[in-house]
Amino acid sequence: MSKQKILVIGASGQIGVELTLALRKIYGANSVIAADLREENPLLKDTGPYVSIDVMNKEMLHVQVIRQNVTQIYLLAAILSATGEKNPSLAWHLNMQGLLNVLDVAKEEKLHKVYWPSSIAVFGPTSPKKNCPQQTVIEPITVYGISKYAGEFWCNYYFHKYGVDVRSLRYPGLISYKSSPGGGTTDYAIEIFHGAVAHNSYTSFLQKDTYLPMMYMPDAIRATIELMEAPAGNLSVRTSYNIAAISFSPAEIATEIKKHIPDFVITYAPDYRQAIADSWPQSIDDSVAHKDWNWKPEYDLTRMTTDMLENIQKGK
Ligand code: NAD
Ligand code: SER
């Protein structure tokens, strides 16, 4: 394990910061290089090496991989669902070309492993709404979902054709307090906590009864590392695994927050993100991940809400 040299691309983002810190705990600070197009996130400062990388520049990426003796890449750079709908061609370009650059370099340099996240956004209005299975009808309606679905099949292709050990999870909406979210449809479930702590109120851009699959960040980080550490022979899915934890609506999370902040008031002003949310399943069947590498979430809505509020209140 100590011989690994890991490059995390997109390390200053919502997942990247927490994943980099978790990997540094396991593999050692100097074995995990944080990389991003933007400046180093303050939470990463003095915790290990940082390099500036544009994943769209394949040569720059390739040079860094050779220079730093990288053995594994975690690719987190992407444009998410809501931002993607504002600039579809940019989202397609970054989400596809960034992945292809990493897969090519992994193939050429014979890297040990690659991690790349997909999303529940691969599913569309024709997929089952409840307990959406691993394999089902998949007809995404957002550019983000299309890019994730195509990306899953590129991962599958590089694994079968070139032997690149690339692994992937279809994350649900991820909820966290350490670094800000990057423009997703599920971001309301983060903003609501900040609104509750700052001024006892929040206006949701999704309707009150919009159920979506969600997960607390500690579960997502653990799932990622557990998948990456699972024996290759146990993995039956080389596109991307469904994983699940919690499913709730804006009204339900508001009720949970009111248990801590009784004066909290939620109002609703749905916008263009409602149509995106309506196209996604309400809950996910993750039994294949459970069977293959023993995936199990730890946080439910109550435990997550308590932890989010405590930490946001501490940082106020
Ligand atoms: P984010 O937007 O918070 O972070 C992405 C990071 O990538 C940013 O720091 C950004 O500066 C960086 N980046 C952008 N373009 C780059 C480039 N050309 N070169 C290098 N870095 C670049 O996103 P996130 O929420 O941390 O998501 C990470 C991954 O997880 C994405 O693939 C996303 O689709 C996936 N995902 C996230 C969620 C979620 O709820 N956060 C859910 C499902 C899937
Ligand atoms: N949280 C992400 C989004 O809303 C799901 O991939 O875009």
Whether 89 and 161 share a structural domain: yes
Whether 203 and 110 share a structural domain: no
Ligand 2 centroid distance, CA of 185 (Å): 5
Whether 141 and 255 share a structural domain: no
Average per-residue pLDDT in the chain?
Answer: 97
We report the CATH number of the domain holding residue 308 as 3.90.25.10
Whether 13 and 162 share a structural domain: yes
Ligand 2 centroid distance, CA of 102 (Å): 22
Whether 150 and 255 share a structural domain: no
Coil, strand or helix: which one is 189? helix
- Within a domain: residue 14? yes
Residue ID of nearest Cα to ligand 2 atom 6:
119
Q: What is the pLDDT of residues 251-296, one digit of tens each?
A: 999 999 999 999 999 999 999 999 999 999 999 999 999 999 999 9
Whether 182 and 73 share a structural domain: no
In a mutational test of the pocket of ligand 1, which residue from 7, 33, 36 has the highest number of ligand atoms less than 8 Å from its CB?
A: 36
Whether 14 and 141 share a structural domain: yes
DSSP conformation class of 108: H
- Within a domain: residue 48? yes
- Within a domain: residue 228? no
Q: What is the pLDDT of residues 134-165, one digit of tens each?
A: 999 999 999 999 999 999 999 999 999 999 99
Query: In this predicted structure, what is the pLDDT of residue 9?
Result: 98
Name the one residue in this structure whose structure tokens are 């999704």: 206
Query: In whole angstroms, what is the distance from residue 112 CA to residue 106 CA?
Result: 8
| pLDDT exceeds cutoff 70 at 2 | no
- Within a domain: residue 225? no
Q: What is the pLDDT of residues 209-230, one digit of tens each?
A: 999 999 999 999 999 999 999 9
- Within a domain: residue 290? yes
Whether 128 and 197 share a structural domain: no
Q: What is the pLDDT of residues 179-197, one digit of tens each?
A: 999 999 999 999 999 999 9
DSSP conformation class of 31: G
Q: Which ligand 2 atom sits closest to the C-alpha of 174?
A: 1
| DSSP character string of 240-286 | -EE---EEE-HHHHHHHHHTT-TT-EEEE---THHHHHHHS-SSB--
pTM of the predicted structure, to 2 decimals = 0.98
Residues 6+ apart with CB under 8 A from 245: 172, 213, 214, 215, 216, 219, 297, 299, 300
- Residue ending a domain, choose from 112, 137, 171: 171
Query: In this predicted structure, what is the pLDDT of residue 100?
Result: 98
Query: In this predicted structure, what is the pLDDT of residue 182?
Result: 92
We report the CATH number of the domain holding residue 62 as 3.40.50.720
Residues 6+ apart with CB under 8 A from 40: 11, 12, 34, 50
Ligand 2 centroid distance, CA of 30 (Å): 31
- Residues of the chain with pLDDT > 90, as a percent, come to 98
Whether residue 81 has its Cβ less than 6 Å from ligand 2: yes
Q: What is the pLDDT of residues 61-115, one digit of tens each?
A: 999 999 999 999 999 999 999 999 999 999 999 999 999 999 999 999 999 999 9
Ligand 1 centroid distance, CA of 264 (Å): 31
| pLDDT exceeds cutoff 80 at 1 | no
Whether residue 121 has its Cβ less than 6 Å from ligand 2: yes
| pLDDT exceeds cutoff 90 at 3 | no
| DSSP character string of 140-169 | --SHHHHHHHHHHHHHHHHHHHH---EE-E
Query: In whole angstroms, what is the distance from residue 106 CA to residue 73 CA?
Result: 8
Number of domains in the chain: 2
What is the residue range of 257's domain? 174-214+244-315
Query: In whole angstroms, what is the distance from residue 167 CA to residue 117 CA?
Result: 8
Ligand 1 centroid distance, CA of 312 (Å): 22
Name the one residue in this structure whose structure tokens are 């915790």: 47
Whether 18 and 151 share a structural domain: yes
CB 166 within 8 A of CB 117: no
CB 16 within 8 A of CB 10: yes
In a mutational test of the pocket of ligand 1, which residue from 44, 80, 142 has the highest number of ligand atoms less than 8 Å from its CB?
A: 80
- Within a domain: residue 224? no
Query: In whole angstroms, what is the distance from residue 123 CA to residue 121 CA?
Result: 5
Distances (CA, A) of 148 to 42, 102, 152, 161, 217: 29, 15, 6, 20, 20
In a mutational test of the pocket of ligand 1, which residue from 14, 38, 56 has the highest number of ligand atoms less than 8 Å from its CB?
A: 14
Whether 166 and 91 share a structural domain: yes
Whether 124 and 179 share a structural domain: no
Rounded to an integer, what is the distance from CA 94 to the centroid of its chain?
16
Whether 308 and 198 share a structural domain: yes
- Within a domain: residue 223? no
- Within a domain: residue 187? yes
- 224, amino acid identity: T
Burial of 60 (0-12, 13-18, 19+ CB in 10 A): middle
Q: Which ligand 2 atom sits closest to the C-alpha of 148?
A: 6
What six digits make up the tokens of 10? 């997109």
Please give the positions annotated as active site.
Answer: 144
Query: In this predicted structure, what is the pLDDT of residue 112?
Result: 95
